[in-house]
A = this chain, B = another copy of it.
Amino acid sequence: MEAPATAPRTGLRQRKKQRTREDLVEAGIRLFLEQGYEQTTVDQIAAAVEVSQRTFFRYFATKEDLAFGAVIVAEELFYEELCRRPPQESPLTALRRAARVVHEEMRNTTSTTVDSGLHLSVVRLIESTPSLLAAHLRRAEELEERVAAELARREGVDLSADLRPRLVTAVFTAACRAANRVWNSEGVPSLDAMVQLIERHLDQLQPALAGDWGRRAGALEEPPASSAPGTPATRADTTSEE
């Protein structure tokens, strides 16, 4: 009667472990969101799941790690999708399309992998908690390295001799982080808003790097038909230097 349709290949021990892990994540995230990350102690989380503190640390090396579960899943998905992108796509396009696939996946709420509603709250939690943000940025650097290696592979260039793989990757994540900062200061966390912001930021990359910033481009919303710019002259200096 209670036997799930998906046959439990694993033994009782494995299932118990999996259960404990999920309980810890659930209780931890809930407490983090309720009372804040710093204000939540590991003892509290362990007590909520009725395990010892020692057991908590057998599941998660650090308190931070508990918060990154969903993020890690999304990042892995991104990496796998990137590896799957057809080779005729340019590096930046491949990165962009891989990100879109992740966002599509997240849109299927309560999917097997990532719960989008909670996920968005966790992203905000990370972004607004200094120690979590610090840990996340460092983790992101590690992902960047893997991504750069994959780009080098697909483009057939040498990662140790060619600067471009690391550069596109760094620029891409920089744009995403900039988008994230804007998204983080918005009212209600919304996946659509996040996706749109990332797309807009990627679109604005070239305009932002251009020597001359006409007052036209770069607007977050369509400007209400403002007056024509007064200084149509292009900038004297160029981006590339002597």
The answer to whether B168 and A171 have CB atoms under 8 Å apart is no
The answer to whether B163 and A208 have CB atoms under 8 Å apart is yes
The answer to whether B203 and A241 have CB atoms under 8 Å apart is yes
Q: Quick one: given A157-B213, A170-B177, are A239 and B164 in contact (CB under 8 Å)?
A: no
Q: Quick one: given A88-B235, A203-B241, A239-B90, are A209 and B168 in contact (CB under 8 Å)?
A: yes
Chain B residues within 8 Å of A238, by CB: 90, 93
Chain B residues within 8 Å of A134, by CB: 134-135, 137-138
Q: For window 120-134 of chain A, which residues contact chain B by CB distance below 8 Å?
A: 130, 133-134
Chain B residues within 8 Å of A162, by CB: 218-220
Chain B residues within 8 Å of A240, by CB: 203, 206
Chain B residues within 8 Å of A174, by CB: 167, 170-171, 173-174
Tell me which of B138, B155, B157, B166 contacts A133 (CB under 8 A). Answer: B138
A40 within 8 A of B: no
A220 to B158, CA, bound (A): 10
A207 within 8 A of B: yes
A22 within 8 A of B: no
A182 to B238, CA, bound (A): 26
The answer to whether A215 and B157 have CB atoms under 8 Å apart is yes
Q: Quick one: given A138-B134, A161-B219, are A239 and B170 in contact (CB under 8 Å)?
A: no
The answer to whether A166 and B137 have CB atoms under 8 Å apart is no
Q: Quick one: given A219-B161, A220-B160, are A206 and B237 in contact (CB under 8 Å)?
A: no
Chain B residues within 8 Å of A219, by CB: 161-162
The answer to whether A167 and B92 have CB atoms under 8 Å apart is no
A90 to B236, CA, bound (A): 8
Q: For window 210-242 of chain A, which residues contact chain B by CB distance below 8 Å?
A: 210-213, 215, 217-221, 235-241
Report A130-169 CB contacts with B as 1/0, cut-off 8 Å: 1001110110010001000000000111001111111111
Shortest 8 CB-CB contacts between residues of A and residues of B: A170-B174, A174-B174, A137-B137, A167-B208, A164-B208, A134-B134, A134-B138, A164-B218
21 interchain pairs, CB-CB under 8 A:
A88-B236, A90-B211, A90-B212, A92-B211, A130-B138, A157-B218, A163-B178, A163-B182, A163-B200, A164-B207, A166-B178, A166-B181, A167-B175, A168-B208, A169-B178, A170-B175, A171-B205, A171-B209, A199-B241, A203-B240, A206-B240
